[in-house]
Amino acid sequence: MPDWSSGYVADIGYTYGAYTELNPLRVKLAFLNAGLVFPESGTACELGFGQGLSTNIHAAASVTEWSGTDFNPAHAGAAQELASASGVNARLYDQAFAEFCTRDDLPEFDFIGLHGIWSWVSDEDRTTIVDFVRRKLKVGGVLYVSYNVLQGWASMVPVREVMTEFSQVMAATGQHTLSKVDGAVAFMQSLIEQSPAFAAANPTIKNRLEQIKGVNRNYVAHEYFNRNWTPMPFSAMAKWLEPAKLDFACSAHYLDHLDFVHFNEEQRKILNDIDNPSFRQTVRDFMINQQFRKDYWVRGARKLRPVQAQELMLAQRVVMTMRAEDVKLEQTVSSKTITLNREVYQPIVDLMANYKVRTVGQIVEHCSSNTSTASQICQAVFILASINVLEAAQDEQSVEKAKAQTEKLNRQICTMARDSADIANLASPVTGGQVTVDRFQQLFLLGRAQGGKNAKDWAAFANRCLKDNNQRVNVDGKPAENEQQQLAELERVAAIFERDRLPLLAALMAVF
């Protein structure tokens, strides 16, 4: 492993992930639900951006100016290439935190984000990050940070120690990291099969190892095999951030705002009787065996006045990001099934089904009835956002400014899909964030942009791309037996895409 990596896996690339929590626009609904003043984001920074997909999507799809760093030069190169394609003015570097965080040419930021970084770096790096936030986050600015939680990872800590030590002392000298990962996981599985006392005392371990087998190996290497790996309780996180004068605002995972989804009445009473906010979060994590937190912290939490909060909520713009036919009013969350009141929710879904942006106030005006009050509708909008039916939408001026660079970025991503399935997201200037679009859908869009007039033309284009790479689509779980069967399958999928998915992508301006 290179000396400059500080123990972080550097000889294999990280996955091309896009994380909606890094979209500063997402802060608004979360803060409104928590009754807090939220900032408008003109400047943002991502520390440890991996391949840079999130940074590039959020930079291209908004008017926010982004900066960021990732110590891995291969990652930074990929990020800079995407930024060049879209034409965004993003400042992306390959510097370690100690170097980047002391630059004297960085602005102050409204938003700083770290996804999948905090638990995997050293205490020295964490100290550097906190000092950077202290100096560079504006008053009222928001820090997003995600991290592994001790409560949910306690039983895996010894397992991880065995696997990493195996990779260090038992693997052949010079063996590639992925081979070490495979060997360590295989060894641990063989060890568990011998029914050690630790496994008997921690019966979930076997299932977790099975899950690891099905996960992208690059992800497994970065998750488990770095030198540093430190799950921590919420209370420890709060202590780390004290020098930066940060207050915990709320979870960036909207469903975590809804206690009725996760806890029964007796459990809610225990939580409601806890006055200390930090201890409440610690107990909450214990109750649900929380594995991974996604949190917003703010430099100076301020409560909205009730009238102000109502006005801001009614003015908030939202858009539907799912077909109405696919919306399920019965949801399973934390192994608990909840049923949403059809009289309240169905009119909202029906109104938003044409993918037009509307304010919450317009939804209230249209959907209010004897059975649906304005308060209930506002809550329903937030819950629909929690289950990914609705998303916050940008103002029209920002959408118009971001449209051209979003089109360029999406064209570049779809061009890359000719020989790669690495990226599964495109950018939307409507939401300022990403929308899931798989490789075949990207190829259909590229074929459409290159003159294809219908689904058959798009399927033929996708088929040519696959032939160039000697690739086959799966039909009924097996590779297509011949080109005729492959083309028929692509035509079938393209027709579904044209009917079900393309109208949404067009409304979100993710096409080009």
DSSP string, 188-211: HHHHHTT--HHHHH-THHHHHHHH
Instruction: Give how far the C-alpha of residue 197 lies from the chain's centroid of Cα atoms, to the nearest Å.
Output: 37
Q: Does residue 165 sit within a domain?
A: yes
Same-domain check for residues 142 and 255: yes
Quote the pLDDT of residue 1.
Answer: 45
Same-domain check for residues 164 and 146: no
Residue 226 confidence (pLDDT) above 80 = no
Q: Does residue 397 sit within a domain?
A: no
Given 369, 392, 415, the domain boundary residue is 392
Same-domain check for residues 175 and 125: no
- CA-based angle 121:124:128, to the nearest 5? 95
Q: Are 52 and 82 in contact (CB under 8 A)?
A: yes
Same-domain check for residues 38 and 183: no
Domain that holds residue 260: 3-151+230-298
Q: Does residue 414 sit within a domain?
A: no
Q: Does residue 415 sit within a domain?
A: no
Using one digit for the tens of pLDDT, what is the confidence trace for 2-56? Answer: 554 455 454 545 678 899 999 999 999 999 999 999 999 999 999 999 999 999 9
Given 298, 316, 344, the domain boundary residue is 298
Q: Does residue 186 sit within a domain?
A: yes
Q: What is the CATH number of the domain that holds 65?
A: 3.40.50.150
Residue 243 confidence (pLDDT) above 60 = yes
At residue 177 the predicted structure's pLDDT band, cuts being 50, 70 and 90, is: confident
Hey, what are 34's tokens?
A: 């928590």
Quote the pLDDT of residue 336.
Answer: 82
Same-domain check for residues 41 and 115: yes
- CA-based angle 248:253:255, to the nearest 5? 115
Same-domain check for residues 249 and 368: no
Question: How far is residue 375's CA from residue 368's CA, in Å, rounded to a whole number?
Answer: 10
Q: What burial letters (b/e) apply to 409-444, b meaning 16+ CB within 10 Å?
A: bbbbbbebbbeeeebbbbbbbbbbbbbebbbbbbbb
Residue whose pair of structure tokens reads 């560079």 in the numeric block: 136
Hey, what are 269's tokens?
A: 């009473």
Please name which of 166, 135, 123, 163 lies closest in space to residue 45, comparing C-alpha atoms: 135
Same-domain check for residues 495 and 444: yes
Average pLDDT of every residue of the chain: 93
Same-domain check for residues 264 and 372: no
Q: Does residue 122 sit within a domain?
A: yes
Same-domain check for residues 147 and 266: yes
Please name which of 228, 221, 200 lies closest in space to residue 97, comparing C-alpha atoms: 228
Q: Does residue 170 sit within a domain?
A: yes
Same-domain check for residues 384 and 310: yes
Same-domain check for residues 80 and 13: yes
Question: How far is residue 94's CA from residue 73's CA, in Å, rounded to a whole number?
Answer: 5
Same-domain check for residues 162 and 126: no
At residue 207 the predicted structure's pLDDT band, cuts being 50, 70 and 90, is: confident
Q: Are 29 and 316 in contact (CB under 8 A)?
A: yes
Tally the domains of the chain.
4
Q: Does residue 481 sit within a domain?
A: yes
Given 163, 196, 224, the domain boundary residue is 224
